[in-house]
Amino acid sequence: MTISKQIIAQMPKIELHCHLDGSISLETIHKLAKMENIPLPATLEEQQALFIAPEETKDLNEYLEKFHFIGRLLQTTAALELAAFDVVKQASYDNVKYIEVRFAPTLHTMKGLTLQEIVSAVVKGLKRGEVEFGVLSNALLCGMRHEPVENAIEVAKVAKSQLTHGVVGFDLAGNEVDFPPYAFEEAIKVAKDLDIPLTLHAGECHCGKNVYDAVVLGANRIGHGIALKDTPEYIEYIKENEIVLELAPTSNFQTKTVTSWEEYPFKKFLDLGLKVTINTDNRTVSNTTLNKEYAKLAEVYDLTLKDFYKVSCNGVFGAFVDDEVKKELGEIVNEEFEKLNGH
């Protein structure tokens, strides 16, 4: 019997892969547009077409086009703080206990903000949301693959300067096909030399070797990693190194990483003992919530509470926080799942 949506809503969740600019609620988009004096189309349908990807998206690049309009709204410290606060608020509706919100500071410099000002504004919003909604929240900084390697190096250095101030790691995001991990080897090395935890987007585009290469270069976690299903020769290496995989089902279908549930590897990876987690990726662009993602997987694979408990534990394991915080999160997860088991 499929786990009910009511039980799913009560599950304690850890979200490790959520993009700020892809996850802002419609209500807050309206506020931001007003603040920035940027007109929105008249109808809701036209508005949503600007920033929600259709279910039948052609590929990753078409999916990424939906970020352009939102990017224009996020060019001031007030806008960035409000957006970050909004994402934490949404996470609280999914009973998320810990969230890492990622963003690329270089995409928010159109009006002259410095990278430090951008990061400070986002962290301020996350911490305000943490206090108000009780969701422990941190930031991950992304280098963008379509930008020069020097930009990613600069972002890594900013991440290091903020590591004890709400920033917990570094990522590379964007066009993985044309810019595989080794194209950014220099930036990744800088991040590793600075002791910055790394989660790199890889394996989102039928390129399983990118997952392996990202880990060889130093990634602690992998954003998506779906293409591992086509390169089984790397699976044992990923498992042995306890690499956490950040899966996002709706997004993975939209970007054509997979086209059917038969080929989606979530349950296979879970059964093999890989450390899989469930994430939204982009709440707004993918028109989803974490509860929806859990419900979808529960229905397709007839998952048990034990399966979801494992997913939450994997999230705690992969979180870029110290051992003391992990212990606290682990205790919360154990306690809340024990209550659900008692139902």
Exposure b/e, 106-141, CB count within 10 A at least 16 = b: bbbeeeebebebbbbbbbbbbbbbbeebebbbbbbb
Q: With 80 as the cut, is the pLDDT of residue 136 above it?
A: yes
Of 243, 250, 253, nearest to 293 by C-alpha is 250
- The pLDDT confidence band at residue 68, using thresholds 50, 70 and 90, is confident
Flag whether 201 is marked binding: yes
Q: With 70 as the cut, is the pLDDT of residue 343 above it?
A: no
β-sheet bridge partners, residue 137: 99
Q: Of 115-129, 147-161, 205-219, which gets the smallest average pLDDT?
A: 205-219
User: Residues 272, 239: contact at Cβ < 8 Å?
Assistant: yes
Average pLDDT of every residue of the chain: 95
Span 103-115, mean pLDDT? 97
- Quick count: other Cβ atoms within 10 Å of Cβ 343? 9
Q: With 90 as the cut, is the pLDDT of residue 50 above it?
A: no
In percent, the amount of the chain with pLDDT more than 70 equals: 100
Q: Give the model confidence (pLDDT) of 175-224 as tens digits.
A: 888 899 999 999 999 999 999 999 999 998 878 999 999 999 999 999 99
User: Residues 103, 122: contact at Cβ < 8 Å?
Assistant: yes
**Residue 257 confidence (pLDDT):** 85
pLDDT, greater one: 47 or 342 = 47
Q: Catalytic one among 204, 246, 293, 336?
A: 204
Flag whether 17 is marked binding: yes
Who's near 241: CB < 8 A, 6+ residues apart? Answer: 215
| CA distance linking residue 337 with residue 60, whole number of Å | 35
| CA distance linking residue 339 with residue 343, whole number of Å | 7
Q: DSSP state, 229?
A: G
Joined tokens for residue 157: 């250095």
Q: With 80 as the cut, is the pLDDT of residue 300 above it?
A: yes
Residues in the chain: 343
Total domains present in the chain: 1
User: Residues 203, 210: contact at Cβ < 8 Å?
Assistant: yes
**Residue 66 confidence (pLDDT):** 76
Flag whether 21 is marked binding: yes
CATH number of the domain that residue 177 is part of: 3.20.20.140
Flag whether 68 is marked binding: no
Cα angle for residues 145, 146, 151 (degrees, 5° grid): 70
Flag whether 19 is marked binding: yes
Q: Is 293 a catalytic residue?
A: no
User: Residues 184, 145: contact at Cβ < 8 Å?
Assistant: yes
Q: Using DSSP, how many helices (H) and how many strands (E) does the chain show?
A: 16, 8
What pTM did the predictor assign?
A: 0.96
Span 83-88, mean pLDDT? 98
Span 148-157, mean pLDDT? 98
User: Residues 47, 100: contact at Cβ < 8 Å?
Assistant: no
DSSP per-residue codes, 121-156:
HHHHHHHHHHHHH--EEEEEEEEETTS-HHHHHHHH
- Quick count: other Cβ atoms within 10 Å of Cβ 261? 15
Joined tokens for residue 149: 């390697």
| CA distance linking residue 187 with residue 124, whole number of Å | 26
Span 284-304, mean pLDDT? 96
The 3-state DSSP class for residue 3 equals coil
**Residue 199 confidence (pLDDT):** 98
Q: Give the model confidence (pLDDT) of 248-268 as tens digits.
A: 999 999 888 898 999 999 999
169 CB burial (10 A radius; 0-12, 13-18, 19+): buried
User: Residues 226, 206: contact at Cβ < 8 Å?
Assistant: no
β-sheet bridge partners, residue 19: 102
Range of the domain at 277: 5-341
Q: With 90 as the cut, is the pLDDT of residue 63 above it?
A: no
DSSP per-residue codes, 266-289:
HHHHHHHT-EEEE--B-TTTTT--
Joined tokens for residue 195: 């002791």
**Residue 299 confidence (pLDDT):** 96
Q: Give the model confidence (pLDDT) of 264-279 as tens digits.
A: 999 999 999 999 999 9
**Residue 235 confidence (pLDDT):** 96
